[in-house]
Amino acid sequence: MMKQKQIEKTVSMQIGQQFPLTIKRLGINGEGVGYFKKQVVFVPGALPNEEIVAEVTKVNPRFAEAKVVKIRKRSNERIEPPCPVYAECGGCQLQHMDYQATLREKRDIVRQAFERHTKLNINHISIHQTIGMEDPWDYRNKSQLQVAKKGEDVIAGLYAMNSHKLIDLSECKVQHKATNKVTQIVKQILADLNVSIYNERKHKGIVRTIVTRVGFATGQVQVVLVTKDETLPRKEAIVGEIQKRLPEVTSIVQNINGQKTSVIFGDKTVHLAGEEVIEEKLGDLSFSLSARAFFQLNPTQTIKLYNVVKKAANLTGHEKVVDAYCGVGTIGLWLASEAAEVRGMDVIEASIEDARVNAKNHGYDHVTYEVGKAETWLPRWKKEGWKPDVVVVDPPRSGCDDTLLQTIIEVKPKQLVYVSCNPSTLAKDVDRLCKKGYRVKSIQPVDMFPWTSQVESVTELVRKE
């Protein structure tokens, strides 16, 4: 092992150096992974089993990054990406790969994470085939596009990978058609009314971001204008034009974010017109969604995901369930009909307000939601003599908070269902839990974001007898 490490340290590559490379697999960001003189090389756009000529673009101590100069042997899973700005945008990473092949590779990305970050025997863990979509297009219910001026025009889009160049997205193929249409007309309204547009470099101007969200089941659309200042020039005219040109928009909101940051939302939200929320349905459940409330971005796959969670929770009607990182209460409400009691928590107050309304609207009096962290509420409830049988966590990409993991270990629920959007942090958290009395029963990957490298998964953990 020591000899191997010494060999790796002596390997050096230069920027601009070219060499033949065989791609072995996909990396966690959707890039091709190959090995040159036993050193890892990451190549965006390359696919497994392809033989390419690579050119080094960046050298790190442990790996190199390269670009494809030429494909000598092309993968039979390579396809022509249908998006005209696919190469520039960077929002999707896998539109050049056959969809069924992406599902296989996403399962492998989960497997790689467990091999790299755990001491577990991966051959003893059941990782199921990835659950995909029948039609993997037009699936996103929310768009958040930065705005800028280009001459007299207002453009709205995403920044190109590793740059400050804004790519105008006139029509995004993974967005619901309603969000595409509404965004285009709103930016035209801003241009027509000559509304001040934010300049990121100068930190001047007013309108920063156009956020649109659509209820797949209801057709209701919410528009949020994120502004640098609370004063929005020509506010009444903007609202009037949106209502006139876009009758499907049922909620118009302003959010104020005066910080120099890439974070979209600020803390203050002002209701401008229409309803304060839009309504969405998942199965038999209805949800009220305010501007900042978290809600899964792919409603079609969310139903499949939550059914996997329900199966993993293995409820009989007698269990006490905790829904940590609960957002507007979607997972807890999905489980409520088969649980004795559900308690959830989230740090965003608006989400908890929505969750309480959602629970009340469904007549669930055995479901309660609190503002705050799970690591605060779980010990408090334990002191009061209330202990959960099942804990469901659905953390951000950074994984579970260390304190929460320690709290779960101390509270010792019989069942833990971990919903993850990041295989690496999932594997690290699971490794820690398995050292403290849990074992992995199964992992089910779900493709929530087709054509991207992201993979969601549901891991079922049970306490060892």
* Structural domain contains residue 223: yes
Q: Which of 253, 329, 250 is nearest to 291 (CA)?
A: 253
Domain limit, last residue, from 253, 282, 311: 282
Q: Are residues 176 and 260 in the same domain?
A: yes
Asked about 421 being catalytic, the answer comes back as yes
Question: Which residue is it, tokens 């990041």?
Answer: 422
Strand partners, 268: 256
Compute the distance between CA of residue 263 and CA of residue 274 in angstroms, rounded to an integer: 26
Spell out the residues 6+ positions from residue 292 whose beta carbon is closer than 8 angstroms to its own: 255, 265, 269, 348, 350, 351
Domain with 419 in it: 122-132+298-463
> What per-residue confidence (pLDDT) applies to 246?
98
Q: How far, in Å, CA of 340 to CA of 318, rounded?
A: 5
Report yes or no: 433 and 89 within 8 Å, Cβ to Cβ.
no
From the candidates 89, 92, 400, 421, which is the catalytic residue? Answer: 421
Query: Do 257 and 152 share a structural domain?
Result: yes
Regions of the chain with pLDDT less than 50: 1-8, 10
* Maximum distance among all Cα pairs of the chain, rounded to whole angstroms: 72
**What's the predicted TM-score (pTM) here?**
0.91
Q: Nearest 5°: CA angle at 54, between 49 and 58?
A: 120
Same domain, 268 and 302: no
Q: Which of 238, 178, 181, 184 is nearest to 206 (CA)?
A: 238
Q: Would residue 87 count as lying in a domain? A: no
How confident is the model at residue 295, as a pLDDT? 87
Q: Identify whether 99 is part of a domain.
A: no
Q: Is residue 27 part of a domain?
A: yes
How many residues comprise the chain?
A: 465
| Strand, coil or helix: 428 | helix
Backbone angles phi, psi at 192, to 5 degrees: -60, -35
Task: Select from 143, 95, 130, 108 the least CA-distant residue to 456.
Answer: 130
pLDDT of residue 3: 40
Both 74 and 198 in a single domain?
Answer: no
Contacts 24+ apart (CB under 8 A), 95-104: 95/451, 96/45, 96/47, 97/47, 99/132, 99/136, 99/450, 99/451, 100/132, 101/77, 102/447, 102/450, 102/451, 103/129, 103/130, 103/132, 103/447, 104/129, 104/130
Q: Which pLDDT score is estimated for 1?
A: 41
231 lies in some domain? yes
What's the pLDDT at 34?
Answer: 97
CATH of the domain at 447: 3.40.50.150
Taking the mean position of all CA atoms in its chain, how far away is CA 53? 33
Q: How many other β-carbons are positioned within 10 Å of the β-carbon of residue 294?
A: 18
Residue in this structure with the two tokens 């442990």, named with its chain if needed: 62
236 with 313, same domain: the answer is no
Instruction: List, edge to edge, every strand of the sheet that includes 390-393.
Output: 367-371, 341-346, 320-324, 390-393, 415-420, 456-463, 438-446
In this structure, the answer to whether residues 328 and 217 fall within a common structural domain is: no
Residue 209's H or E segment, with its range, is: strand 207-214
Task: Give me the pLDDT at residue 4, please.
Answer: 41
Identify whether residues 201 and 269 lie together within a single domain: yes
Among candidate residues 257, 282, 307, the one where a domain is terminated = 282
The pLDDT, as a whole number, for residue 165 is 85
Residue entry with tokens 């909620």 = 251
Count of the separate structural domains present in the chain: 3
Same domain (yes/no): 361, 431: yes
Domain end (from 249, 282, 315):
282
Return the pLDDT at 95. 97
Task: Tell me the backbone φ, ψ of residue 149, rounded to 5 degrees.
Answer: -95, 135
- Per-residue confidence (pLDDT) for residue 258, from 0 to 100: 94
Task: Give SS3 for 429.
Answer: helix
